Homo-oligomer: A and B are copies of this chain.
Amino acid sequence: MNINGKPHRTIWIHPDNSEIIQIIDQRKLPFKLIIEDLISVDDIENAIVDMHVRGAGLIGATAGFGMYLAVCKSSEDSFKKELMVVGERLKNTRPTAVNLQYAVERQIEVINSCNTLAQCIRETRSKAQEIADEDAAMCKSIGEHGLGIIKEISDKKKGEIVNILTHCNAGWLAFVDYGSATSPIYLAHDSGIKVHVWVDETRPRNQGARLTAWELLMHGVSHTVIPDNTGGHLMQHGLVDIVITGADRVTKAGDAANKIGTYLKALAAKDNNIPFYVALPSSTFDWKISDGIKEIPIEQRDGNEVKYMDGLLDKVEQKFLIMPEKSSVANYGFDVTPARLITGFITERGICSASAESIHHFFFR
């Protein structure tokens, strides 16, 4: 999407040197926009592990480009053997990231099919680009399906502003482009539909206030950052037309794990008859599980993310203590929104309502 009027992705090949991969170092947003050059597998590994890049789609694309960079640095006589080792190393940076595993495997397949290093460089470059392009196309497709829902609301409101609430960052920064929850919003905005986004700040890490707000600001989409406490009040007063969030994992029955706090917004949407959609790539469905609350383990993260907060003072980003140092804290990363509170899923294949039957029918018949 746009940064200061110029289209960007989250990862790309350096325009003047095809052996350099460029990314946005997302840790510095929104206070600094730093474009980082990655020239080695070490750089790639570091970018994934230290979260310069984040989000399943983007991590996968980064690993794809990582394999390509590794090929560039290989020696003609032993490149296949060397690259198997690199592949394993990259897979271990985030062992639970499915897109990452898959991207590495696709590159290994390409490498095994090549006869010369020169051919391998060409073909892994092209495959890395393909993996990234596929992610962007998938997100665009999610957007096109979601656009219909927003357009319908806009028509019903006779062209008045459509107010959309979102939680956390399921934006283009978490993918290669467009995002999942944000994709329908960008497409609506670009097609001239009047939209306004309520951005939950999303404590404790504030990905809404830091990343979603920055994305929308850079693309020129009207938005307002609100404390996570605010959404219910807005819904009671008719100030929200639709909620769209992302998801980290969805069961075959339609229970959706997403950033902590999503469940509270789904309850408020239900209580006020507001449609609540989850936008996601189909690959987010976990066909092995059904009851999300019982079966999805919820990660507990470092309590210091609650106790301290990152902010800018005199143009320097610092960590500040925001509560009594001796009080205990808890930091659950996700919660599960039961299917009964979800209106539907917006996927790259179309829209599907949130019940075991609908989901099964949509994907398997």
A329 at the interface (CB under 8 A from B): yes
| A contacts with B: majority SS | mixed
Q: Of the candidates B217, B231, B323, B332, which one forms a contact with A326 in the assembled complex, judged by CB atoms under 8 Å apart? A: B217
- Residue interface mask A200-231, B partner, CB < 8 A = 1: 01111010011001101100001111111111
Name the CB-closest residue of B to A328: B224
Which A residues between 177 and 212 are near B, CB-CB below 8 angstroms?
198-199, 201-204, 206, 209-210
**A321-B328 in contact (CB<8A):** no
Specify which chain B residues have a CB less than 8 angstroms from the CB of A13 in the assembled complex. none
User: Roughly how many angstroms separate A234 CA and B198 CA in the complex, as a whole number?
Assistant: 25
Known contacts A236-B336, A264-B267; decide if A217 and B322 are in contact (CB<8 Å). Answer: no
Q: What is the chain B residue whose CB lies nearest that of A329?
A: B225
Q: Pick out which of these stretches binds chain B: A37-45, A67-75, A306-314.
A: A306-314
Q: Does A283 contact B (CB under 8 A)?
A: no
Nearest opposing residue in chain B for A210, CB measure: B323
Which residues of chain B are near A206, meaning CB under 8 Å?
Answer: 322-323
**CA gap between A330 and B223 in the complex, in Å:** 10
Taking the closest CB of chain B, its distance from the CB of A146, in whole angstroms, is 23
A362 at the binding interface (Cβ < 8 Å): no
A195 to chain B, nearest CB (A): 14
Report A121 CB to chain B, min CB distance, Å. 40
B-side contacts of A231, CB under 8 Å? 264
Report, as a range, how many residues of chain A touch the other chain.
Answer: 35 or more
A260 interface residue per 8 A CB criterion: yes
Which of chain B's residues has its CB closest to A271's CB? B267
Q: Given A203-B228, A224-B329, A261-B229, is A322 in contact with B309 using a C-beta cutoff of 8 Å?
A: yes
Q: In the complex, what distance in Å separates the CA atom of A307 from the CA atom of B330?
A: 24
Q: Given known contacts A320-B309, A322-B206, A336-B236, is B225 in contact with A228 (CB within 8 Å)?
A: no
The distance in angstroms between the C-alpha atoms of A214 and B321, with both chains bound, is: 14
**Does any Cβ of B come within 8 Å of A135's Cβ?**
no
A142 to chain B, nearest CB (A): 24
Shortest distance between the CB of A340 and any CB in chain B (Å): 10
The answer on a CB contact under 8 Å between A233 and B213 is: no
Closest to A341 in B: B271
- 8 closest A-B pairs by beta carbon, nearest first, are A229-B261, A311-B320, A233-B335, A209-B323, A203-B227, A267-B267, A312-B321, A30-B324
Question: Can you name 14 extra interface pairs (CB under 8 A) apart from A31-B321, A203-B229, A226-B306?
Answer: A203-B228, A214-B327, A216-B327, A225-B307, A225-B329, A226-B329, A229-B260, A231-B264, A232-B264, A233-B298, A264-B267, A267-B271, A311-B320, A311-B322
